[in-house]
Amino acid sequence: MSGSGAPTTGDIDGRGLDVVIIAGTWHDVITNGLIAGAERVLNDAKATHRLVRVPGSFELALAAQAAFAGGADAVVALGVIIRGGTPHFEYVSAATTDGLTRVALDAGKPVGFGVLTLDDEQQGIDRAGLEGSKEDKGAEAADAALRTALLVRELRG
C-alpha cells in the first residue's frame, strides 16, 4: 500500500482560493468516494469550489486547462483507470498524467493528482476514502492542490 510515509493533511486555510474538482464518470463507486474526500477537505478549508464531470480520465487535462483559463487557482483531477488486457491502460494513464502535468506547468497553477491507476477494482475501493478504505486519495489530492496553491501565491508575493 502506497500510504506509508504520507504527509499530514488538514488544517489549511483555503479562503480566497477558487478550486475546480474535475472527475471522470467511470467507476462510480470509486469516483464518488474520491469526490467526497476532495469536497470534505475543500469545505473544511473554506475554499470556494465546484465540481465538473468529464467522460473519462483522458479528458481531465483539457477540462483543467479550461478551468485555469476561467480563473481557477487550483484543480483537483480525479479519475479511475483500471488495467485491462490491452495496451489501452498504458496509453490512457500516460496521456492523462502527461496532460495534467503540462496543464499545471503551462498555467503555473497546481493540479492535485487524484487519478488512480489500478490493476483491479478492489485497489480503487481501498483508496477511495469509502468506509473500510485504507486511504483517501481524493482528500489527499485536494489537500495537495490547496497547499501548493498557497505556496505558489506566497512565492509570487
Rounded (10°) CA dihedral 122, 34, 63, 72:
-160
Instruction: Please check whether residue 94 is in contact with residue 63, taking contact to mean a CB–CB distance below 8 angstroms.
Output: no
Say whether 88 is catalytic.
yes
* CB burial of residue 27 (10 Å; 0-12, 13-18, 19+): buried
The contacts of residue 150 (CB under 8 Å, 6+ apart) are: 12, 13, 14, 17
Decide if 103 contacts 61 (C-beta within 8 A). Answer: yes
Cα(137)–Cα(34) distance, integer angstroms: 6
Q: What type of residue is 61?
A: A
Residues for the chain: how many in total? Answer: 157
Choose, from 46, 50, 88, 153, the residue flagged as catalytic: 88
- Give the active site residues: 88
